[in-house]
Amino acid sequence: MKNENYDIVIIGGGPAGIASAYAAKKHFNHVLIIERKDCLGGILEQCIHDGFGISRYNEELSGPEYARKEIAKLDNIDVALNANVYAITKDDELIKLSYYAPDGVHHIVAQKLIIATGCRERSAKEITILGTNPSGVYTAGEAQYYINIMGKLPGKRVVILGSGDIGLIMARRLTLEGAKVIGVYEIKNCPSGLERNIVQCLKDYDIPLHLSTTISSVKGRKKLTSVTTVKVDENMKHIEGSEEEIECDALIISAGLIPVNDMMKKLGLKMSPRTKGPIVDEHYMSSVPNVYCVGNALHVHNLVDDVSYTGERAATFAKDNLKERELIDVTFDEHISYVVPEVFDIKNIPPLVDFALRVKEEMKNITLKIYADEEVIFQRKYVKLLPPEMLLVKAKIKDDMKMKKIHLAIEKEDK
Amino acid sequence: MEHKLTCIICPNGCELVYDDRKDKVSGNLCPRGEMFAKQEILDPHRMVTALVKTKFSSTPVVSVRLNQKIKKKDIAKVMKAIDEMIINKKMKMGEVIIKDVADLKGIDVILTKDVE
Ligand SMILES: Cc1cc2nc3c(=O)[nH]c(=O)nc-3n(C[C@H](O)[C@H](O)[C@H](O)COP(=O)(O)OP(=O)(O)OC[C@H]3O[C@@H](n4cnc5c(N)ncnc54)[C@H](O)[C@@H]3O)c2cc1C
Ligand code: SF4
């Protein structure tokens, strides 16, 4: 059995993995990307709408165009396509993994590993809907693939459950392609997609958004024939008597995304209950030394530009051989639902630290402050923050700064 | 009159207020918001992305977009023109497949994928 040696291996060839690879190439000789599918680009291949690359390229590109620009930056990097990792371990120093590809089985030994496996959709089965099990029920990503890659319409009269961004984008696509989108139903009392998508995907086409409403059951023997919607109260309990039956031939479920974690589980990374991704420090390093995680595999990002950025950052940090770590928990106040990094290595603090966070509820006229012990190391004012918007801020750290505590706080302006 | 609107140029989604008597925009974090608000009230424009059929079974459809934003009211006729098109030769990302689509001067449909 012959081993192939690499300085750094990246699992996942989406935008996060691609950016990791070209950034890693600046510091390492032998870089390998392992991708399960037959091409690089990840989920971008099926995202044909525009709005990618606004901050990185100052252009509003479609998904495939953005992917093309990023792939063009790969130079002298090994890429294994159609490759399935079936074993992966880490001993004291090295990562060992095996994958099979059309050209056979490969055994790899690497110094460093970046996990960039992206996220997956919560499936229809993970949401409880009563009734029959007819065809015509799709996740938003499946519908996106069906329309944008296969060129087929999933239905003519469509109901969308969940107001995540992909669902909103599919509402517009379906309408433009000639289907009737009857409505988008969201169980929460606020949309989970971005405001700009509510405007340009729903309002532009007069597609109604029903908040505090869900689907209680579906009907249809073989094919879906109708769904029943029901309003919910503050405790998400169905309100009796508010049911409404709606005839439709497709139901599209856009119920959120979660990191793909199979590699993380195999390696025994400590996971975060908040993000459903691994717990990382400010170097994007997981609980297992020299194993990093980026992009949507780390936590779900809104913007592909930010995804690429995390890849570049992690690959740049990977060049440092940190010996000892001393990890403390990053703390935050009750207005914030999560912060990445969740831990902070106070022995090896870099000059610039990224913080990604989301707020729990809508907040207006507030200041985000990041404290290192008692000192404010970052602050910025915001007119409005909403839970669907992920915030990525970068805090400069003074040379030789020592700290025992990192805390994020949202402070309201007194007016 | 004051118009309230959400800027859709970037994910910040600023809440803009356009006062048409003073021709003034507020609430925008950057100058693009001001341009957006004025145009959105006077004559809203949108980008259109779409799919074009091909005669190749490996890529039954390919994605396209316009070279610039168009008036909202023209979206339907542009979609119709794109829907009627069938690509029957190999082409590359960035190539123009329809010039002056639906008789709109200067509006071209360009490929955002290769036809292989
Ligand atoms: C269905 C869907 C639709 C989306 N639509 C939009 C959209 O319309 N607009 C938008 O802004 N964002 C969208 N997103 C978010 C989008 O995923 C991110 O913007 C960005 O593409 C994430 O990049 P990534 O590299 O982290 O993950 P991905 O693009 O998902 O790439 C991950 C890659 O890893 C590969 N992989 C996974 N597991 C393994 C493994 N074990 N071995 C080898 N390879 C593996 C996958 O095949 C994939 O190529 C969507 C996400 C999903 C899931
Ligand atoms: S005003 Fe500027 S920052 Fe605000 S949403 Fe529009 S483009 Fe983005």
**Same domain membership, residue B57 and residue B27:** no
Report the residue of chain B nearest A54, measured CA to CA.
Answer: B10
Q: How many A from CA of A120 to the centre of ligand 1?
A: 7
pLDDT at residue number A219: 92
**Same domain membership, residue B35 and residue B63:** no
pLDDT at residue number A414: 62
B112 touches chain A (CB under 8 A): yes
Residue B83 lies in a domain: yes
Number of domains in chain B: 2
pLDDT at residue number A322: 85
Residues 6+ apart with CB under 8 A from A40: A13, A14, A17, A18, A33, A67, A71, A74, A79, A81
- Fold entry, domain A123-255: FAD/NAD(P)-binding domain (3.50.50)
Distance CA A369, CA A411 (A): 7
User: What digits encode the pLDDT tens for the residues B29-81?
Assistant: 889 999 999 999 999 999 999 999 999 998 999 999 999 999 999 999 999 99
Residue B25 lies in a domain: yes
For the Cβ of A296 lying below 6 angstroms from any atom of ligand 1, the answer is: yes
DSSP secondary structure of A337-362: EEEE-SEEETTS--SEEEEEEEESS-
Torsion of CA A188, A194, A200, A201, to 10 degrees: -50
Please judge whether B46 and A204 are an interchain contact, meaning their C-beta atoms are less than 8 angstroms apart. Answer: yes
Report the residue of chain A nearest B12, measured CA to CA.
Answer: A389
B34 to A38, A353, B6, B116: CA distances (angstroms): 44, 32, 11, 42
Q: If you ran DSSP here, which 8-state letter would residue B104 be given?
A: -
pLDDT at residue number A116: 98
Q: Which stretches in chain A have pLDDT values below 50?
A: none
Mean pLDDT over the full length of chain A: 94
- Delimit the domains of chain A by residue range: 1-120+257-323, 123-255, 325-415
Structure tokens at B60: 């039954």
- Which residues face A271 on adjacent strands? A278
Cα distance from B70 to chain A (closest Cα, Å)? 14
For residue B16, the enclosing domain spans 2-43
Q: If you ran DSSP here, which 8-state letter would residue A310 be given?
A: H
**Same domain membership, residue B73 and residue B29:** no
For the Cβ of A15 lying below 6 angstroms from any atom of ligand 1, the answer is: yes
Whether cis (ω within 30° of 0) applies to the bond prior to A341 is yes
**Chain B positions in Cβ-Cβ contact with residue A149 (cut-off 8 Å):** 61
B37 φ, ψ (degrees, to nearest 5)? -60, -45
Domain A1-120+257-323, CATH class in plain words = alpha beta
Q: How many A from CA of A298 to the centre of ligand 1?
A: 12
**Same domain membership, residue B68 and residue B31:** no
Q: Mutate which of B45, B82, B112 to test chain A, going by most A C-beta atoms within 10 A?
A: B112
pLDDT at residue number B29: 86
Nearest in space to A154 (alpha carbons), one of A143, A141, A165: A143
Please judge whether B93 and A65 are an interchain contact, meaning their C-beta atoms are less than 8 angstroms apart. Answer: yes
Return the CATH number of the domain spanning residue range A325-415. 2.60.40
Nearest in space to A110 (alpha carbons), one of A89, A134, A124: A89
Q: Are strands A406-412 and A327-332 parallel, antiparallel or unpaired?
A: parallel
**Same domain membership, residue B53 and residue B107:** yes
Q: Any alpha helices (H) in A90-164, and if so which ranges? A: 140-148
Q: How many A from CA of A343 to the centre of ligand 1?
A: 25
- Maximum pairwise Cα distance, chain A: 70
For the Cβ of A256 lying below 6 angstroms from any atom of ligand 1, the answer is: no
Q: Any alpha helices (H) in A180-261, and if so which ranges? A: 195-197
pLDDT at residue number A312: 98
pLDDT at residue number A130: 72
Report the residue of chain B nearest A45, measured CA to CA.
Answer: B113
**Same domain membership, residue B29 and residue B67:** no
Chain-centroid distance, C-alpha B30: 21
**Same domain membership, residue B105 and residue B64:** yes
Residues 6+ apart with CB under 8 A from B69: B45, B46, B47
User: What digits encode the pLDDT tens for the residues B78-98?
Assistant: 999 999 999 999 999 999 999
Q: How many A from CA of A260 to the centre of ligand 1?
A: 9
Distance CA A293, CA A52 (A): 22
Answer yes or no: are the C-beta atoms of A200 and A176 closer than 8 Å. Answer: no
**Same domain membership, residue B13 and residue B34:** yes
For the Cβ of A300 lying below 6 angstroms from any atom of ligand 1, the answer is: no
Tell me whether domains A1-120+257-323 and A123-255 share a fold: yes
- When CB atoms are compared, the residue of B13, B46, B79 closest to A195 is B13
**Chain B positions in Cβ-Cβ contact with residue A204 (cut-off 8 Å):** 46, 72
**Same domain membership, residue B35 and residue B76:** no
For the Cβ of B7 lying below 6 angstroms from any atom of ligand 2, the answer is: yes
- Which residues face A222 on adjacent strands? none
**Same domain membership, residue B85 and residue B67:** yes
**Same domain membership, residue B29 and residue B7:** yes
pLDDT at residue number B12: 81
**Same domain membership, residue B82 and residue B30:** no
Q: If you ran DSSP here, which 8-state letter would residue A276 be given?
A: S
Answer yes or no: are the C-beta atoms of A303 and A125 closer than 8 Å. Answer: no
A308 φ, ψ (degrees, to nearest 5)? -60, -40
Structure tokens at A308: 């690429």
Q: How many A from CA of A44 to the centre of ligand 1?
A: 7
User: What digits encode the pLDDT tens for the residues A30-54?
Assistant: 999 999 999 999 999 999 999 899 8
| pLDDT grade for B16, boundaries at 50, 70 and 90 | very high
Calculate Rg over the CA atoms of chain A: 23
Residue B116 lies in a domain: no
